[in-house]
Structure formats: structure tokens, C-alpha cells
Amino acid sequence: MNSTLTFKELESQVAGGSIDTVLVCFVDMQGRLMGKRFHGGHFVGGAWEETHCCNYLLATDLEMGTPDGYASTSWERGYGDYVMKPDLSTLRLVPWLEGTALVLCDVLDHHTHAEVPHSPRAMLKRQVARVRALGFEPMMATELEFFLFEKGFDEIRKGGFQDLTPISGYNEDYHILQTTKEEHVMRPIRNHLWEAGLPIECTKGEAETGQEELNIKYAPAMDTAEYHSIAKHAIKEIAWQQGHAATFLPKWHHDKVGSSSHVHQSLWADGKPAFHDSDDALGMSDLMKSYMAGLLKYAPDYTYFMAPYINSYKRFMKGTFAPTRIIWSVDNRTAGYRLCGEGSKAIRVECRIPGSDMNPYLAMAGMLAAGLAGIEEGLELQPATVGDVYQGDTGLIPGDLGAARTALHGSDMLRAAMGDDVVDHYARAAEVEIEEFARVVTDWEVARGFERA
């Protein structure tokens, strides 16, 4: 882990008064930082060993509801505690908040102190351990796309989410002039995250009005998931500090391009890229080919982890740079899987399916499980597709949350890799979203049918 603060340094900064608050957090099913704000003195005085939280936090939804149907917890079982065990190797400063540090926790069973298997951090750890057992290190990078709005979260919410005016008036893809006007938000995002120890590469304008992208340098998978979670949180907080809202909703308007979170992947061995083979026409090793064949074969199984909400599926539209098909291609942004850095040591596969709403721990756990299955089964990679991959209707990405839930629930591969309890837990989470959406009357139905139905 890429800590910027040792425990000893924290102790002395708390004693000296430059840090007074420690955010003790874990990453929940939705990818959010959840936890408590500790007084620095209490944290270094003993709370660093463990603290506790209600176990509904890994069986809830974005509204903090208490949906039924989870085996892990319920009203019947009394919604007891989990242990939050700080992983001190994740300690870092939070430079955009005064006098504040942050630590991430593992979530443990209250009685046995075993890791809770459906906790996102435990799920990714488990797949990374499987890759490491084969002698490889998974190196990943996630891209964060989001939209910035003129107004702040509170004002937009109080207005019923009607006044959604993006921060810019035109498509700002790679646009230096327009992004200069957004530097009061984007510059502190880059600089504060850098200071917090995240290897920030760059930000850029994206291909829609008000759309932004943040790139972070590739790193071991657990670090990348941590960077992503902290960066997403920071983007919302820093935008809020500047009076704006930042949304990671993948499709906030049907006529606008959506936001994605592409995942770049490569396996390394002894500090060298194991996906590279200079004798191959495209520079791909056999290992890479079977890993990619696994990614493709099992894409429907782990689509839920890349697209966990009803809204996620509205992003997959032809001609928007979002993919529609489970197909690979060479440096081609119309495909679900894009080969990048071909012929070079930077060779990697970019999965373009995940939306900006993905939980990086879950998405990467699903991808690694699929890639490993490809290696273990010795799968052969079909030749790359060329041209406009939007043309064609084979290998479609599951079309909605229901289809993704069915594929997840029926996945023998994921059941073997993650455990039945974990798969059943997340299949239930998908159902909860579907049930809630079926219950609620939307603006669209009212506008369409109020007078004319």
C-alpha cells in the first residue's frame, strides 16, 4: 500500500496539533467510504486497533434502507456489529480537509474476526491472492469520468434534480480553453490527491458538456481500488467545497454521452510485463491471450459488478464511445475490450464496459476471476474484430440489470472463485434495485401518461 503517513508520524502530528481528526473508513457495496470521524488522540490512544459498525452497512442500498433477503444479516438476526480493523498501511493525509487523516479498514466478523467474505476489500484481496499464487502481480488502472454542474449538490437536490446545468456550454474533449475555466475545481483535485500520495497522471475535458476525466497511474490492483475510491470521494468533496456538484451517475440525461470507468489490466512477473511477447505479431503473450479469452467468455457473469444499477445500462449506446458488445479489437474505442500499447511493454487490455458507478473492488475482482478462469481453462482467444464494432448484434452486453443479475446468479465460475454466499449476496443486491425501481412511479411515466393515457 502507498501510505503517506506512518503511525509514528500520525502520533507525533496528533501530539503537535497538526492532525486532530482521523477518518476511519471502509468501502461499502456501493463503493462509498463509510465509517466514523475519530478524534486523533483517541485513535492513536487505542482505537487504531479496532472499532465497530452496524452490519447492515454491507446489506443496504444508496438510501441506507434495510432490504430483506440477505443471509448475512436482517431484522430477524438483530443487525449486530462488524469489526472495522484499520489497515495502518493505508494511512494517509486528507489535504483538502483541515487537520485530517484517513485510514481504510478490513471488515471482520464480530465473533470470529474472520474477514466478511462479501466485503469488497476482502473480495478483491481473495482474487489477487489467487493471481499471486500463480506467480503474477495484477497491475491495474481505472479512469474516472464524471460531470461537473454549475450548482452544488444541496441546491440541486432542493430543486428536485431539475436544474442540471453542466459547468460548460460545449463539448470539452481535450479542450484547454474550457478546462481552464474549471481549474478552481480540477486543480485542487489533482494537487490534493497528489499530496495524499495518489499517483495522479492528469485530468482532461471529456466528450460532452461539463464532462471531466481523471487518470491515475497503474498500480497493484488493491492500490488502484483504494486510489479510485479515495479519488471519487475527493472529487465530490472538493466540488462541493467549490459550490459545484460532481456526479458519477453513468447516464444523467438520455441525450448526453454517459460516464465510464475503463479498467486497464496487465499481469507482471518479477517486475516485468508478462502480457508482452515480442515474437507475437501484436506483442501479446499466450498468457495475455488466455486471460483475455477468459475476460470475454465470462463478461456477462461479472457485468453486474461493472454496471450495478438500473441507470448503468442506459449508457451502453451505439455511437457514444460506450460499448455495446463483448468483443475485442486493437486500439478501437467501439469495442468492449480494447488492446492498448500493442507491440510494446505497455501492452494491456482496457475493459470499456464499467460505468462511472462501478465499485472498483468488485469490478476488478470479477475481471481477475474471469481472466484466471481463462488461464486455468487454457482458453484460446478468437481473432480481433476490425472496423466499427457497433455494427453487429452478436456478443451483446447484458441489456439490463435483470439480465446481468441472472448471469451473475447462474455463474458457476464466480461461485467457484468467490463462494456461493458472496454471489447470492450481490444477486440479492441487484434484485433490491430492480424491485425498488418497479415500485416507484417515475417522472417519465407521469409526463407521458398523465393527460394522454
The CA–CA distances, whole Å, from 18 to 21, 40, 44, 46, 254 equal: 9, 10, 14, 19, 47
CB 337 within 8 A of CB 262: no
- Does 139 bind ligand ADP (CB under 6 A)? Our answer is yes
> Least distance in Å: CB of 43 to ligand ADP?
33
Give the single-character DSSP code of 203: E
Site string for ligand ADP, 211-250 (x = CB under 6 A): ----xxxx--------------------------------
Asked if 332 is part of the footprint of ligand ADP (rule: CB under 6 A), the reply reads no
Report the nearest approach of ligand ADP to the CB of residue 261 (Å).
11
Closest to ligand ADP by CB, 30 or 215: 215
**Minimum distance between the CB of residue 348 and ligand ADP, rounded to whole angstroms?**
4
**Burial class of residue 7, CB neighbours in 10 A (0-12, 13-18, 19+):** middle
H/E run at residue 28? none
* Options 141, 222, 370, 375; binder of ligand ADP; rule CB under 6 A: 141
> What's the min distance (Å) between Cβ of 171 and ligand ADP?
17
Shortest Å, Cβ 275 to ligand ADP: 7
Count CB neighbours of 425 within 10 A: 21
Examine residue 434 and tell whether it contacts ligand ADP (CB under 6 A). no
Any contact of residue 425 with ligand ADP (CB under 6 A)?
A: no
Residues of this chain, 183-202, that bind ligand ADP according to CB under 6 A? 201
What residues are paired with 414 via a beta bridge? none
Q: Which is nearer to ligand ADP, 141 or 287 (CB)?
A: 141
Q: Which is nearer to ligand ADP, 164 or 346 (CB)?
A: 346
Nearest distance in Å: CB 252, ligand ADP? 23
Closest CB to ligand ADP among residues 51, 265:
265
- For ligand ADP, which stretch binds (CB under 6 A), given 3-11, 115-123, 264-272, 395-403? 264-272
Strands 21-27 and 100-109 turn out to be parallel
- What secondary structure letter does DSSP report for 209? B
Phi, psi for residue 81 in degrees, rounded to 5: -100, 155
Nearest residue (CB) to ligand ADP, 56 versus 227: 227
For 232, residues 6+ apart whose C-beta sits below 8 A from its C-beta are: 31, 144, 146, 248
Select from 306, 314, 298, 305 the least CA-distant residue to 400: 314
Residues 6+ apart with CB under 8 A from 303: 353, 397, 398, 404, 407, 408
Q: How far is the CB of 253 from ligand ADP (least distance, A)?
A: 24
Count CA atoms within 13 Å of residue 61 on its CB side.
20
In this complex, which beta carbon is closest to ligand ADP, that of residue 139 or of residue 370?
A: 139
- Of the candidate spans 9-17, 173-181, 259-267, 435-443, the one that interacts with ligand ADP by CB under 6 A turns out to be 259-267
CB burial class (10 A; 0-12, 13-18, 19+) of residue 254?
Answer: exposed
User: Minimum Å distance from CB 164 to ligand ADP?
Assistant: 27
Nearer of residues 6 and 344 to ligand ADP, judged by Cβ: 344
Contacts with ligand ADP: how many residues (CB under 6 A)? 15
Q: In sequence order, which residues have a C-beta less than 8 Å from that of residue 183 and are 6 or more positions away?
A: none
Residue 348 touches ligand ADP, criterion: CB under 6 A: yes
When asked if residue 266 is in the footprint of ligand ADP (CB under 6 A), the reply is yes
- For residue 83, the minimal CB distance to ligand ADP (Å) is 33
Cell of 363: 469490478
Grid cell at residue 158: 432542493
391 close to 342: Cβ distance less than 8 angstroms = no
| Segment near ligand ADP (CB under 6 A); pick from 124-132, 180-188, 265-273, 439-447 | 265-273
Contacting positions for ligand ADP (CB under 6 A): 139-141, 201, 215-218, 264-266, 273, 340, 346, 348
